């Protein structure tokens, strides 16, 4: 199955709107020159309108880093799916930092995932084990649980729109990326079979599974040469224009 690779930059809590303008100015020409790779930038909420405006017509998508599942109401500090949809085509759901620091659970991931699909927003759903879980050999159990609960009650017809990001927590922001072989094994032996159980073979084959965790220009092509690694979710390196452009270029077929 030929899957178009997708490279997304998660800026996390970095860049004011003025700084975001500079960063997009520094990387948009380079990113535009990349062919046959889906490219997405996920800035903080305050820069979503700016990026939506700057990237119109460039083929580079905009994503939010989170959203609430309810359409409106008394949820101070939150953004609804239609607020996100005004500016974004994508949304990151269940990032490990949201799970670790902000009480995100498989149940809230599931609500957000269903809300994203209902609102025509492409969800990038993060799964992955902690260092403890990795060292005690529980990777399969953890990602299977995150998928079984987080992806419950999704119509199979919608499943191919979902992007999964496998992000081992021990590799995020640590400079210690997983080996490409280990990540590919997790994608191929654990994640895609779990998706197949839920959505059937054909739909599961169409779902892109990104790797995330200390991806750089130096290691990107090793990841992208693997059979079941369909792109990357990039944190730190997405704030460095040359680095992020090089990662996107490495994903070209
Ligand atoms: C991330 O935040 O999703 C991530 C993978 O970060 P980094 O690339 O910095 O490890």
The answer to whether the CB of 236 is under 6 A from ligand 1 is: yes
Out of 68, 95, 97, 104, the active site residue is 95
Give the largest CA-CA distance in the chain. Answer: 47
| Residue 242 burial (CB count, 10 A) | 12
Query: What does the alpha-carbon distance between residue 61 and residue 63 come to, in Å, rounded to a whole number?
Result: 7
Q: How far is the CA of 31 from the centre of ligand 1 (A)?
A: 19
The answer to whether the CB of 238 is under 6 A from ligand 1 is: no
pLDDT given at position 224 = 98
- The two counts, helices (H) then strands (E), for the chain are 13, 8
Query: 178-191, pLDDT tens digit by residue?
Result: 999 999 999 999 99
The answer to whether the CB of 173 is under 6 A from ligand 1 is: yes
Query: What does the alpha-carbon distance between residue 67 and residue 93 come to, in Å, rounded to a whole number?
Result: 8
CA-closest candidate to residue 167, choices 130, 196, 193, 192 = 130
The answer to whether the CB of 212 is under 6 A from ligand 1 is: yes
Antiparallel, parallel or unpaired: β 208-212 and 60-64: unpaired
Out of 97, 167, 187, 243, the active site residue is 167
Q: How far is the CA of 73 from the centre of ligand 1 (A)?
A: 32
9 DSSP β-pair partners = 41, 234
Q: How far is the CA of 128 from the centre of ligand 1 (A)?
A: 12
Q: How far is the CA of 237 from the centre of ligand 1 (A)?
A: 8
Query: Whole-prediction pTM value?
Result: 0.97
Antiparallel, parallel or unpaired: β 38-42 and 6-10: parallel
Helix axis angle, 139-150 to 106-118, nearest 10°? 50
Report the chain's mean pLDDT, rounded to a whole number: 97
Query: 91-134, pLDDT tens digit by residue?
Result: 999 999 999 999 999 999 999 999 999 999 999 999 999 999 99
Query: 213-249, pLDDT tens digit by residue?
Result: 999 999 999 999 999 999 999 999 999 999 999 999 9
The answer to whether the CB of 215 is under 6 A from ligand 1 is: yes
């Amino acid at each position: 199955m030929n899957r178009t690779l997708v490279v997304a930059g998660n800026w996390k809590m970095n860049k004011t709107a003025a700084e975001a303008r500079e960063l997009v100015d520094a990387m948009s020409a380079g990113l535009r020159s990349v062919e046959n790779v889906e490219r997405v930038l996920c800035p903080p909420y305050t820069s979503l309108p700016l990026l939506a405006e700057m990237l119109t017509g460039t083929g580079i998508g905009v994503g939010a880093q989170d959203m609430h599942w309810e359409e409106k109401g008394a949820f101070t500090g939150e953004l609804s799916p239609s607020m996100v949809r005004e500016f974004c085509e994508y949304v990151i759901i269940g990032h490990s930092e949201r799970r670790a620091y902000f009480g995100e659970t498989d149940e809230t991931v599931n609500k957000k995932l269903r809300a994203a699909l209902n609102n025509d927003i492409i969800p990038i759903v993060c799964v992955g084990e902690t260092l403890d879980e990795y060292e005690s050999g529980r990777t399969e159990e953890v990602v299977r649980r995150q998928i079984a609960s987080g992806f419950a009650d999704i119509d199979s017809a919608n499943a191919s729109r979902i992007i999964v990001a496998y992000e081992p927590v021990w590799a995020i922001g640590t400079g210690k990326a997983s080996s490409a072989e280990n990540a590919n094994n997790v994608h191929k032996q654990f994640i895609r079979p779990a998706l197949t159980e839920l959505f059937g073979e054909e739909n599961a084959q169409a779902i892109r599974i990104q790797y995330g965790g200390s991806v750089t220009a130096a290691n990107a092509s090793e990841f992208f040469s693997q059979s079941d690694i369909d792109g990357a979710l990039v944190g730190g390196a997405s704030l460095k224009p040359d680095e992020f452009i090089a990662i996107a270029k490495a994903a070209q077929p």
